[in-house]
Chains A and B, each alone.
Chain A
Amino acid sequence: MVEHRRWNDILAYAILTFGVFIVVFPVYVALIASTHDAATVVNGNMPMLPGSHTLENYYRAIFVGGSRASREPVGHMLMNSFVMAMGIALGKIVISILSAYAVVYFRFPFRQTAFWIIFVTLMLPVEVRIYPTYKVIADLKMLDTYAGLILPLIASATGTLLFRQFFMTIPDELLEASRIDGAGPFRFFKDTLLPLSVTTMAALFVIQFIYGWNQYLWPLLITTQESMQTIVTGIKKMLTTTDELAEWQLAMATAILAMVPPVAVVVFMQRLFVRGLVETEK
């Protein structure tokens, strides 16, 4: 439109650049902090340019441990986070695609009931039922295990709803055609439904991976051994040593490491991520 075009655009660029600055600033600071030595970082006057201790800090963080009190190498915590996030993402995909398939493509008694049972779980996030869930895990002897970390977090219905919505958009004619071609439920699922669902699965994967990776309260509760800590819970622990000064530069290095995988997933799979977000919130 003919409407103060240039001025309008300049204003827009200015505001957006400012926005990006705000968004990036904390991470930038952390990045800088992770490249200096301990003394520079804690004196309250840290320079805004990178230092020379990058390799040393990251090496220590990943292989040696976050602070002298906690002997846990971040590398190990990264592994735990990874296993947990992958477990949640994949687990969620598997059980929800199966249950969505059942609810959409079959007719059987109590179908509606089953659907509502699953649907209700959307309402309550894990934080609301932490202690009873903790007790269940403890009773099942799953404390400090990957299973304990993963299973309660795949209980909610987001995946099932997503797949159900997607299946609804698939034309009936596809099923009828494959039936005429002699395919039963397994063949149809494997040969037709699954290939069509790939993008939906990828979108769900992105969202769930991030969700799983960023979990805090639940892993905090059920992991007592340091070897089972995730990187997200590990960072906080690094900062709360009572006997000596926390090593902030290592904590920042760890924070950067904690951010890399989920951010990478968002940036490289951006379209799927956006789609996953928008679809699961409907």
Chain B
Amino acid sequence: MANVSLRNVRKTYPGGFEAIKGIEFEIGDGQFCVLVGPSGCGKSTLLRMVAGLETVTSGEVDIGGRVVNEIEPADRDIAMVFQNYALYPHMSVYNNMAYGLRNRGMPKPEIDTRVREAAQTLELAGMLDRKPRQLSGGQRQRVAMGRAIVRQPKVFLFDEPLSNLDAKLRVAMRVEIRKLQRRLKTTSIYVTHDQLEAMTLADILVVMNGGQVEQIGSPLDIYRKPATTFVASFIGAPPMNLIKLGGNEIRAQFAGDSRSAADAGILGVRPEDLTISGAAATDGGITLNLTVEAIERVGAETFVYGTRARAEKAVSATPGELPEGEVIVRIPGQDAPAIGASIRATAPRDKLHLFSVDGRNRIDI
């Protein structure tokens, strides 16, 4: 059990590319931390630096109060689950799990107990003699986890472990991982590009982009108060509607707050916070007049894609780009307006998000 601290950690590759640009945060003992972000944002690199598979150019990585920058992976007392599982192809499931313990000179009976216990927990008990190539994807994933569990390390590291599984299995395994971590209470760092996994697994969520941290907080905090337009459109699906505001609109909507009037540039509102109604919004909420372009029925809910009467460009914040002027509205249930119809969508003031013109700052209203 240990906490993990990152203090002004940087990584520059030979050749000059700066992959990690000064990251600083702390993960408490027993917490489940998720690093989420698009491909190339540096989340895997950061994880591998904690593991010792990548070197740290400057800054400190601290595990359990000990600076580990120069310590080999084997001595950091960590365990890692790789995206492609990285099982030893020539060893049986039993030996895959026992390997790490043997390397540390643990006595045989103890190894046996631990391996069998882990196999029991992960429902691998009948497969201990098989080789990896005889297992399915999900089984291999569990062996990879078993290999990590038996070590009883200070920190678990997960590098997109569910990416190679099919959708259904992914959902099931997600829950299992969470339950397991709760039971073992081991500090965990989990990397994923899937915002849903991030939301459901994390105690602490770290949203990364371009080698930097965009926001850290609990999933719900981030959901309710995204700090930048990047985070706003990355967390939550379908992505938040981001609307660039012209000067007149600002004054009209937020006339009372002169400070916000000066800096504001982008208005954000989530599809689930818009309602289709006949009446215009009151009390500082917004009203959007839309022409319905497309409808998506998912069963429990419906997504309506509409365009605003005036051709205002929506901000394209990657990921989750919306085309010019398009707005998504979420309607519970299956009743939806017809395509081509004109509708009016409103949202109350407390569901609005306001950002600076460059999208990098949140303005509280």
* B306 within 8 Å of A (CB atoms): no
Q: How far is the CA of A76 from the CA of B164 in the complex (A)?
A: 64
* A3 within 8 Å of B (CB atoms): yes
Task: Kindly report which residue of chain A lies nearest to residue B48, judged by CB atoms.
Answer: A1
Interface size class of A (residues with CB under 8 A): under 10
Chain B residues within an 8 Å CB radius of A2: 52-53, 55, 69-73
Secondary structure dominating the interface of A: loop
Q: Shortest beta-carbon distance, A44 to chain B, in Å?
A: 50
Q: How far is the CA of A4 from the CA of B72 in the complex (A)?
A: 8
Q: Shortest beta-carbon distance, A97 to chain B, in Å?
A: 37
Task: Kindly report which residue of chain B lies nearest to residue A2, judged by CB atoms.
Answer: B52
Task: Kindly report which residue of chain A lies nearest to residue B49, judged by CB atoms.
Answer: A2
Number of interface residues of B (CB under 8 A): 9
Q: Mark A1-27, 1 if CB is under 8 A from B, else 0.
A: 111110000000000000000000000
Q: Shortest beta-carbon distance, A5 to chain B, in Å?
A: 8
Q: How far is the CA of A5 from the CA of B56 in the complex (A)?
A: 13
Task: Kindly report which residue of chain B lies nearest to residue A3, judged by CB atoms.
Answer: B72
- B18-57 interface (Cβ within 8 A of A): 52-55
Task: Kindly report which residue of chain B lies nearest to residue A4, judged by CB atoms.
Answer: B72
Q: Shortest beta-carbon distance, A270 to chain B, in Å?
A: 25
Q: How far is the CA of A204 from the CA of B73 in the complex (A)?
A: 45
Q: A-B pairs with CB below 8 Å: how many?
A: 17
Q: Shortest beta-carbon distance, A20 to chain B, in Å?
A: 24
Q: How far is the CA of A131 from the CA of B71 in the complex (A)?
A: 66
Q: How far is the CA of A4 from the CA of B70 in the complex (A)?
A: 9
Q: Shortest beta-carbon distance, B189 to chain A, in Å?
A: 17
Task: Kindly report which residue of chain A lies nearest to residue B71, judged by CB atoms.
Answer: A2
Chain B residues within an 8 Å CB radius of A4: 72
Chain B residues within an 8 Å CB radius of A1: 52-54, 72-73
Q: How far is the CA of A3 from the CA of B76 in the complex (A)?
A: 12
Q: Shortest beta-carbon distance, B69 to chain A, in Å?
A: 7
- B50-93 interface (Cβ within 8 A of A): 52-55, 69-73
Chain A residues within an 8 Å CB radius of B54: 1
Task: Kindly report which residue of chain A lies nearest to residue B68, judged by CB atoms.
Answer: A2
Chain A residues within an 8 Å CB radius of B52: 1-2
Chain A residues within an 8 Å CB radius of B70: 2
Q: Shortest beta-carbon distance, A216 to chain B, in Å?
A: 41
Q: Shortest beta-carbon distance, A8 to chain B, in Å?
A: 11
Chain B residues within an 8 Å CB radius of A5: 55
Q: Shortest beta-carbon distance, B328 to chain A, in Å?
A: 40
Task: Kindly report which residue of chain B lies nearest to residue A1, judged by CB atoms.
Answer: B53
Q: Shortest beta-carbon distance, B203 to chain A, in Å?
A: 28
Chain A residues within an 8 Å CB radius of B69: 2
Chain B residues within an 8 Å CB radius of A3: 72-73
Task: Kindly report which residue of chain A lies nearest to residue B56, judged by CB atoms.
Answer: A2
Q: Shortest beta-carbon distance, B266 to chain A, in Å?
A: 43
Q: How far is the CA of A3 from the CA of B73 in the complex (A)?
A: 8
Q: How far is the CA of A103 from the CA of B306 in the complex (A)?
A: 60
Q: Shortest beta-carbon distance, B56 to chain A, in Å?
A: 8
Q: How far is the CA of A222 from the CA of B18 in the complex (A)?
A: 66
Chain A residues within an 8 Å CB radius of B53: 1-2
Q: How far is the CA of A2 from the CA of B69 in the complex (A)?
A: 8
Chain A residues within an 8 Å CB radius of B55: 2, 5
Chain A residues within an 8 Å CB radius of B73: 1-3
Q: Shortest beta-carbon distance, A196 to chain B, in Å?
A: 33
Q: Mark A57-92, 1 if CB is under 8 A from B, else 0.
A: 000000000000000000000000000000000000
Q: How far is the CA of A5 from the CA of B72 in the complex (A)?
A: 10
Q: Shortest beta-carbon distance, B9 to chain A, in Å?
A: 14
Q: How far is the CA of A274 from the CA of B54 in the complex (A)?
A: 31
- B68-122 interface (Cβ within 8 A of A): 69-73
Q: Shortest beta-carbon distance, B47 to chain A, in Å?
A: 14
Q: How far is the CA of A4 from the CA of B55 in the complex (A)?
A: 12
Q: Shortest beta-carbon distance, B61 to chain A, in Å?
A: 10
Q: How far is the CA of A194 from the CA of B71 in the complex (A)?
A: 56
Q: How far is the CA of A3 from the CA of B69 in the complex (A)?
A: 11
Q: How far is the CA of A18 from the CA of B73 in the complex (A)?
A: 31
Q: Shortest beta-carbon distance, B23 to chain A, in Å?
A: 18
Q: How far is the CA of A5 from the CA of B53 in the complex (A)?
A: 12
Q: Shortest beta-carbon distance, A272 to chain B, in Å?
A: 29
Q: How far is the CA of A3 from the CA of B55 in the complex (A)?
A: 10
Q: Mark A28-48, 1 if CB is under 8 A from B, else 0.
A: 000000000000000000000
Q: Shortest beta-carbon distance, B200 to chain A, in Å?
A: 32
Q: Shortest beta-carbon distance, A2 to chain B, in Å?
A: 5
**Most chain B CB atoms below 10 A, which of A1, A2, A4:** A2
Q: Shortest beta-carbon distance, A142 to chain B, in Å?
A: 53
Q: How far is the CA of A4 from the CA of B71 in the complex (A)?
A: 10
17 contacts between A and B (CB under 8 A): A1-B52, A1-B53, A1-B54, A1-B72, A1-B73, A2-B52, A2-B53, A2-B55, A2-B69, A2-B70, A2-B71, A2-B72, A2-B73, A3-B72, A3-B73, A4-B72, A5-B55
Q: A1-B52, A4-B72 are in contact. List 7 more A-B contacts (CB 8 A).
A: A1-B54, A2-B52, A2-B69, A2-B70, A2-B71, A2-B73, A3-B73
Closest 8 CB pairs of A and B: A2-B52, A3-B72, A1-B53, A2-B55, A2-B72, A2-B70, A1-B73, A1-B52
Residues of B within 8 A of A (CB): 52-55, 69-73
